[in-house]
Amino acid sequence: MKKATPFFLFLCLSMNVSLKAQNQVAIDLNTSNAKTVISKHIYGHFSEHLGRCIYDGFWVDSTLHVPKKDRIRLDIVDALKKIKIPNLRWPGGCFADEYHWRDGIGPRTKRPKMVNTNWGGVVEDNSFGTHEFLELCGLLGAEPYIAGNVGSGTVEEMAKWVEYLNFDGISPMANLRKENGRDKPWKVSFWGVGNESWGCGGNMTPEYYADQYKRYATYARNYPGAPLKKIASGANAFDTNWTEVLMKNIPAYEMWGLSLHYYTLPTGDWGKKGSATKFGEEQYFNTMKNGLAMDSLVTLNSAIMDKYDPKKSVALVVDEWGVWTDVEPGTNPGFLYQQNSMRDALVAGSTLNIFNNHSDRVRVATLAQTVNVLQAVILTEKEKMLLTPTYHVFDLYKVHMDAKAIPLQFKSPKYVLGDKQLAALNASASIDSTGAVHITIVNIDPKKKINITTNLKGLKWSKVTGRIVTSEKFNDYNSFDNPNKIIAKVFTGAKKSGNMLSAELPPLSVVELELN
């Protein structure tokens, strides 16, 4: 065996130093720049009459042996309370524009049955309606976000629903509410005027929908003590023309928010989206690429909104987002039941970092969907219940709710696959009312750890603690046989040196650090 030449040793040493340098990241963070509040409503959730989200999810058979109030499943309620769910969007989704609210009030035995034409053609018995939903929100401590029916409904129907919910007085709808057992109004604030009006909500043009919005919104009244936050049905993904037309044609004072829907498809193909758990690195890379596109999407729409609304009075409401894969084999294709892997956790952490960093415009977001549908935070199987990796990310990130966003500056190392590359690192930070600083960081690289250092300007601190969600493989997931494979654990890879924070982030990790 030949001895290594001095030049060869020098080259190897140089390459090693270079590789280490590539995975050393200096993050600039100055707490004196923290001015914008990260609304807690960024951490909202979406529940549609779809598959097993409502029925066999939140709302179970009276014979199921789980803790219940009426038929509301309380172990789900308790789990969602732990992550401080701030709002819940209902009844859809596409279902909202075929839902007639009066079918879901009054004695359950007298409520008419209907066909859910959007999701599986199953019979909807309307046993879960307005009162049941608002009872659920009360148990959760979450604000209700109701999507009204513009597609197949009428102005009168929506106006009377608002009156039924919010008017504290004598009127036909207030009297009907009292007859159904609710004396005082709920005073629901968040109100969607239609859903996906460019598609399943009526296949409208943006010009036509803008006129419809103004008509419906006119009669959705603000009753005493119950001002509405009216949210217009916004764009599908990168359809910026829809955003442009609505911002141009609807005065800013007439809408509180404008929605945006974007789903992360592993393959980018709606026809065959890809498996939730059986995929390799190529599909993993593409999923992360498509998920990180949310940053460009929010930036583009925010720029259009700034043109018409420079004071940023209209919120960007990303009320449908998440990973959408093929359904699990053997399940009803109309029920959209999919597993939830470490990959989903990384998309969730990255997306929430994006929203935090755009909190000047993004003030509401709702993950699709809460239980048993799409990128759910909870899955159930009869009496069994498990918390998905995505749930544990929300548990980490709840520290940002209503804290002030701290702008971050850093240059991320690259996650490289063949001739393609992505930023391996993304992050967001905030300072809460007690002065504690929280930093959430995602390393999407499946092989390389990343070392960070942060000089915290303007902050006196004495200790750092942390939690982490990680797993060995990007397609690991929690099953009913092994429900705790991926959970939030204590993170010990961070330390203080002077006023400098340093941390070593494992591959495939979502980390939350708290500095006090």
Active site residues: 196, 320
What would the 3-class secondary structure string for 394-434 be? HHHHHHHCCCEEECEECCCCEEEECCEEEECEEEEEEECCC
Peptide bond into 369 cis (omega under 30): yes
Q: Which two tokens stand for residue 467?
A: 């939690």
CA distance 11 to 18: 10
CA distance 319 to 298: 13
CA distance 220 to 217: 5
* Whether 346 contacts 424, CB under 8 Å: no
DSSP characters for 286-303? HHHHHHHHHHHHHHHHHH
CA distance 36 to 406: 8
* Whether 331 contacts 276, CB under 8 Å: no
With CA atoms as reference, report the closest residue to 262 among 231, 239, 242, 244: 239
Q: Which two tokens stand for residue 11?
A: 């080259």
Q: What angle do helix axes 206-219 and 240-249 make, rounded to 10 degrees? A: 50
CA distance 92 to 199: 13
CA distance 361 to 111: 41
Burial degree of 270 (CB within 10 A; 0-12, 13-18, 19+)? exposed
Q: What angle do helix axes 281-308 and 240-249 make, rounded to 10 degrees? A: 20
Tracing tokens 């997931």 back to the chain, one arrives at 477
Reduce the DSSP state of residue 325 to 3 states and report it.
coil
With CA atoms as reference, report the closest residue to 503 among 442, 468, 454, 447: 454
CA distance 59 to 62: 9
Is beta strand 464-470 parallel, antiparallel or unpaired with respect to 44-46? unpaired
* Whether 250 contacts 193, CB under 8 Å: no
CB environment 204-224: b (16+ within 10 A), e (fewer)? bebeebbebbbebbeebeebe
Q: Which two tokens stand for residue 130?
A: 């307005």
With CA atoms as reference, report the closest residue to 312 among 354, 262, 258: 258
Beta strands in 214-298 (DSSP E): 229-236, 257-264
Spacing of C-alpha 366 from chain mean position: 4
